[in-house]
Chains A and B, each alone.
Chain A
Amino acid sequence: MAAPAVEVAELVKRYGTRTAVAGLSFEATSGEITALLGPNGAGKTTTVEICEGFRRPDGGSARVLGLDPRRDARRLKPRVGVMLQSGGIPPDARVGEVLRLAASLYAQPVDAEYLLVRLGLRESARVTCRRLSGGQRQRLSLALAIVGRPDLVFLDEPTAGLDPQARRATWELVDELRHQGTSVVMTTHYMEDADRLADHVVIVDHGRTVAQGSPAELTSQGAERQLRFRARPALDLDQLLSALPPGSTAKESPAGHYLIEGEVGPHLLATVTAWCASHDVLAEDLRIESRTLEDVFLDLTGRELRPS
């Protein structure tokens, strides 16, 4: 069993009086994609930047490939690829030049031309970086992180600001990296990134780990399925509930939209439709849904909008 790619334990980082990371712990298994998922300001970037050696923690520890990110920086730099959340690209240099320079800092880099084509930057190779769109810049940043064929890459918000096509291309590339043996640690606040890509999801909020597991493990906690339908408003839900197995819940929100949670199985479905038939109610859009990662995320981190 290989040592973990990243091991973070009880990590603490303060900026003045603000605590950005408050005792966060997680482990990224070697050869897997680990996603740190959390709202803006949850402490994801600070955690990753400590692992990259850019910041010193105020407490706890971070080990990267079994080494200390700051003390062993010289041994780690060639083995770890870094995609910054923003910046890092010289605006006056040309796209191709920037990638070729990055390649020349490594012993056996990926062919720069191949990466340009792969990330849809071939036509922009001779353009100065200041003229790139946000999405193109994002893709160049990703290319810079992986061109050195690292053992481990940190990708900070790799899909932020991408259009659907570019997002898909990024997913495919990250997935391929994993299949070829690279460990990936990425941050994101998009559910879909974590759902599609991650082997292991770490949900982070207020600088702490609030849950972790595979997407399947996370979504199977709590109510597994739910039944939804639309019908005329103000049905007598108490009456419906009395026909359902104990432990079920039913609510109407907004008016005319019904949600039933509990042991959603064939029996419950039959009971609901029978009850509707006996009350001359036509249940429209009747469907049984699994709990999504988004439901888990919102349950854990709250549904209210946050400042920042």
Chain B
Amino acid sequence: MTTAPLLSPAPGAAPLPRMVVAQTAMELRTLLRNGEQLLLTLVIPTLLLVLFSLVPLLDQGPGRRVDFLAPGIIALAVMSTAFTGQAIATGFERRYGVLKRLGATPLPRWGLLAAKTATVAAVEIIQIAILSAVAVALGWRPSGSPLPVVVLVLAGTAAFSALGLLMAGILRAGATLAAANLVYVVLLALGGVLFPLSRFPDGIRSALELLPISALSGGLRAVLQHGAALPWQHLAVLLVWTAIAFTAAALTFRWE
């Protein structure tokens, strides 16, 4: 028989990297087990990519449909994880007191944010790998270099994460769930994901181009479809959204 483990005081925080890795692993496991999240982040984008590439339902302009669609669907995937998924998950974590309880552990707040960021990045890598493989199977031939793509995806992730946290910080969990899904659908339709913004009248188009989803899909398309270097205008729109949403989120976010 072994002796009973000690309950006696021996306090101390784990090393920070171990805390962040443990928290990230936990968030990732919970997320990948969540059916609704997977529907939003993988199933819907993949179905849209396959359906609209194979069937000429919408006019995507000159060129092969998949070359237009793949960058837009990647933008949609980034939005679904960084914005929709994160807003919903964070809203419920607050409602269930999970954020409050974590606040009583040695994990610092920025350690929690680091874990959430790492989780979003890991999911995006999985999404982009799967969606790119499907697109290539459908005949996608991306042009451009990888670096501007990485920069745009990072800027898009930052903007959408900040917007997601802003929404989760001001709305109740149930309202966040509804609003985040609504925004997903509206931006899917209006953000240059499935068809070009040139279908809209000029005045509306220039307003829609300022949406973060349009900036990301347009920027990715400029690189991947047309071989542009770094599309500064699109990047600038994303960075402005990041700055505004991050400041607002920092001012309004409540941990409980």
Contacts and interface: CB of A to CB of B under 8 A. Distances in A.
Interface in B57-109: 93, 96-98, 100-101, 103-108
A87 B97 CA distance: 5
Interface residues of A, number: 41
B46 interface: no
A87 B11 contact: no
Interface in A242-290: none
A110 B6 contact: yes
B7 A177 contact: yes
A186 to B, nearest CB: 15
B11 A150 contact: yes
A105 B105 contact: yes
Given A84-B97, A92-B33, A114-B5, A106 B26 contact: no
B34 to A, nearest CB: 6
B7 A92 contact: no
A180 B14 contact: no
A79 B11 contact: yes
A105 B7 contact: no
B5 A105 contact: no
B136 interface: no
Contacts of B22: 101, 104-105
Interface in A100-148: 101-102, 104-108, 110-111, 114, 144, 146, 148
Nearest to B108: A74
A106 B98 contact: no
Interface of B: 4-14, 18-19, 22-23, 26, 29-30, 33-34, 93, 96-98, 100-101, 103-108, 256
The 4 closest A-B pairs by CB, nearest first: A87-B97, A107-B12, A88-B101, A82-B104
29 contacts: A53-B104, A54-B103, A77-B13, A79-B11, A84-B97, A84-B100, A89-B96, A97-B26, A97-B29, A104-B19, A104-B22, A105-B19, A105-B23, A105-B105, A105-B106, A107-B12, A107-B13, A108-B10, A110-B6, A111-B5, A144-B101, A146-B7, A148-B11, A148-B105, A149-B10, A149-B11, A151-B9, A180-B6, A182-B8
